[in-house]
Structure 1
Amino acid sequence: MNTAQKDLPLQSTIRPKEARASMRVMKWKETVIGYLFLAPSIVLFCIFLFYPMLKSVYLSFQLTDPRGKVAAFAGLDNYKELFTDSHFLTSLKASFLFTLYTVPTAIVIALIMAALTHNKLKGVKLFQFVFSLPLAISVSTASVIWNLLYHPSIGSFNYWLSLIGLPPVNWLTDPAIAIFAVSAMTIWMNLGFNYIVLLSGIQGIPEELYESAKIDGSNPLRTFWNITIPLLSPTLFFVAIVSVIGALQSFGQIHILTKGGPSRTTDVFVYHIYQEAFVNFRFGTGSAQALVLFAIILIITLIQFKVLEKKVHYQ
C-alpha cells in the first residue's frame, strides 16, 4: 500500500470538519450582513418606538412639571386617579361609541361597493377610481372639507335640508348629533382603504366557483352569501382588526371638527390624552392613559382573534 492510499482516511476525516467550519463562518458572515442591513431600521425603531414606549412607562409612575421633567415619584397614584376620573370614563364611552358607529358601517358599505364594481363592465374603472379617492385625502384635509359641509349657515347639508323644507341642523354643536356627524365623516374617510382591500380580496376568488354556482342555478345574492363571504372572510377579518385599532386611535378629525365637544360627547380617548398631556401639562397622567389605551387595544385585538378567527375560512 502506497503513502497516498494511507492518507485517504486522514483526508476523509479532515475535509468534513473543514467544511463544517467553513459553513459556520459563512453563516456568521451572512448573519452579520443581515444585521447590517437591518441596522438603520433598528435604530429608527429604537428612537421613535421603543424609547418613547419605555419613557411613557417611566413617566406613568411619576409626577411632572409643565416642562415634562420629573418632580416626584407617584407610584400607582396616576392609575388610581385615572379610573376614578369621570372625564376618563366619559372619553372611554365616547371611544367605544365612535368605534361602534364607524367600523361596521364602513366595512359593510365598502363591501357592497366592492361587490358592485367587481364585474368587468364598461366604465367600472371610473367607479373604482372614485371609490378609492378618500384614501388619497389626509385626515386634516378631509376634516376641513366636512367642516365646511357641516357649517350651520353656508354648509351644503343644511342647504339640502332647506330644499325639502326641513330646519337647519347644528351638526357639530348639538350634543345629540355631534358624535354621528364626526362618525359619518370618518366612515367616508375610511371607505377608500376598506374598498381597495375588499375589492382585491374579491378579485382573488377563482372565477370557476362563480361559474359553477351559476350553472347550478344559484342567484347572485345566494352566490354572494355562500361563496364570496366565506372566501372573503380572511380579508374581512384583517379589515376589522385594522379598523378597530384605527378607530380607537382617532384624533385628527376630532381635534379639527369638535375639539372634544359639545359637552364632551366627542372627547374620545386619544383626544383626552392630548388634553391631559399637552394642554394641562400632566405628562405622568397622560402617559398612564396612553398605556391603558395600549392595553385596551391589545385586549380587544386578542378577543377578535379568539372569537372572529374561528369563523374565518382559509382556503
Structure 2
Amino acid sequence: MNSTEAGLAVRRTDSQTRRARRMLPSLWKETAVGYLFIAPSLLLFAAFLFYPLLKSVYLSFYLTDPRGRVAEFVGLDNFTALFRSEAFWNSLLVTLKFTALTVPTGLLASLLLAALTYGKLRGMRAFRFVFSLPVALSVSTASVIWMMLYHPTTGTLNYFLTKLGLTPVQWLTDPAWALVSISIMTVWMNSGFQYIVLLSGLQGIADDIFDSARIDGSGPFRTFFQIIVPLVSPTVFFLSVVSVMNAFQSFGQMNILTKGGPAGSTEVFVYSIYKEAFVNYQFGTGSALSLVLFAMIMLLTLLQFRFERKVHYH
C-alpha cells in the first residue's frame, strides 16, 4: 500500500469515527424511548411476577405463625419436610396422572376435530363455531356446568346410564372416578383453544400438498398420519408445552368440584399449595411447594424442548 492509499484509509476511518460519534446520541435517545415504552410492562412484571417470586424464596426459609407472620428461620427444613411428607408425593402423583389423562387426550381430540372440519365444505363454519365455544368459558363457569352433569341423582350423565340399564356412577365422590371426571371436564374446557390453534395450523398448509396426495392415491388415514401430523407438528409441539404447564397449574376445577377429595384423589400440586398457605397459614411450606412446582415445570419444559428436533418445520 503506497502513501496515498494509506492516507485515504486513514481519512475514511476518521470519517466513519466522526459519523459514529454523531449517531451515538441518536442511538441513546432511541434506546431510552424504547425502555420508556416497555416501562409499564416491566413495572407489572416486577409487581406481579418478580416480587412474588423473590418473596416466595424468602418465605421458604422461614416458619410462620397461625396468622401467617414470619416466626423463625429454618433454612432448608421446609424443603426436607416436604420430601418426607406423604401428602407431597400424593399430590405429585395425582398431578402426573392428571397431566397424563388430559394432555395427550386433549391434543388428539382437538387434532381430529380440526382435521375433520378444516375443509371448505358447506356447513363447516357451524361446526367450527361449536367446537370453539369452550374457549369462551371461564374455569368456574365450566365447573358449574359439569357439576350439574355429574350430579349423582339429577345429572344428565347418570340419567343416560340408567336408560341404558347401567349403574349410575358417583362421578365426584368415588375416588376411582373423581380424577377421571375432572380430567374429562378439563379436556372439554381446553379443547376450544387447542382446536382453534390446530385449525389455524391446518389452514396454513398449501392446498397443493393435499391435491398431490389425492393424485398419488393417498387415502384419509394415510393423509392424516403421513401428511397432516408431520406438517402440524410445530403447532402440536407448542400446544404440548402449554398444555403440560396448564395441567401442572390447574386449580379452579378441583377447588370447585371436589375440594381435593375424596381421600386426596384430586389434590393436585397447586391445590396443596393453596391449602398449605391459605388454609393452614403455613406460608413457608407453601412457598417451598411453589418453588418446587416452578422447578418441575421448568425441567419438564426443557425436557420437551429436547424433542424439538423431531418437529418438522416446513
The answer to whether TM tops 0.5 is yes
**Corresponding residue number in structure 2 for 1:48:** 48
CA-to-aligned-CA distance 1:98-141 (integer Å, 9 cap, x gap)? 00000000000000000000110001000000000000000000
| Counterpart position of 1:282 | 282
* Code of the aligned partner of 1:165: G
Match of 1:249 in 2: 249
- The answer for the alignment partner of 2:298 in structure 1 is 298
Taking the TM superposition and a 5 Å limit, the aligned residue runs for 1:74-89 are 74-89=74-89
Cα displacement string for residues 142-190 of structure 1 (whole angstroms, at most 9, x for unaligned residues): 0001001111111111111111122221110001111100100001001
Counterpart mapping for 1:195-274 below 5 A: 195-274=195-274
- Using the alignment, how far apart are the partners of 1:14 and 1:187 within structure 2? 66
1:29 alignment counterpart = 29
Query: What does the per-residue CA deviation read over 1:41-62, in whole Å, with 9 as the maximum and x for residues that have no partner?
Result: 1111101000000000010011
Equivalence map 1:75-114=2 (5 Å): 75-114=75-114
Amino acid at match of 1:302: L
Change in 2 beyond 3 A, CA 1:38/1:171: same
Q: What is the one-letter code of the residue matched to 1:87? A: A
**TM-score with structure 2 setting the length:** 0.95
- Alignment partners' CA distance in 1, 2:100 and 2:79: 26
Alpha-carbon spacing, 1:210–1:12, altered in 2? closer, same or farther (3 Å): closer
The SS at the match of 1:177 is: helix
Alignment of 1:122-133 (within 5 A): 122-133=122-133
Name the amino acid aligned to 2:309: K
Deviation at 1:310, TM superposition (A): 2.4
Unaligned segments of structure 1, at least 5 residues: 1-9
Instruction: Work out the CA distance in 1 between the residues paired with 2:252 and 2:12.
Output: 70
Distance (Å, rounded) in 2 between the aligned partners of 1:17 and 1:94: 64
162-171 vs 277-286, greater mean Cα deviation: 162-171
Please list every run of at least 4 consecutive aligned residues from structure 1 whose deviation after the TM superposition is greater than 6 angstroms: 10-14
Once residues 196 and 309 of structure 2 are traced to their aligned partners in structure 1, the CA distance between those partners, rounded to angstroms, is: 25
- Alignment correspondent of 2:117: 117
CA shift in 2, pair 1:28/1:154, >3 Å: same
Distance 1:14 1:84, change over 3 A: closer
One-letter identity of the residue aligned with 1:314: Y
Please state how far the C-alpha of 1:314 moved relative to its aligned partner.
Answer: 1.0
| In 2, Cα distance between equivalents of 1:67 and 1:48 | 23
The one-letter code of the counterpart of 2:35 is Y
Following the alignment from structure 2 to structure 1, what is the Cα–Cα distance between the partners of residues 265 and 35? Answer: 48
Relative distance call for 1:118 and 1:13 in structure 2 (3 A) is closer
TM-score by length of 1: 0.94
Partner residue of 1:191? Answer: 191
Deviations 1:11-35 (A, max 9, x none): 9887544422221111000000000
Stretches of structure 2 lacking an aligned partner (at least 5 in a row): 1-9
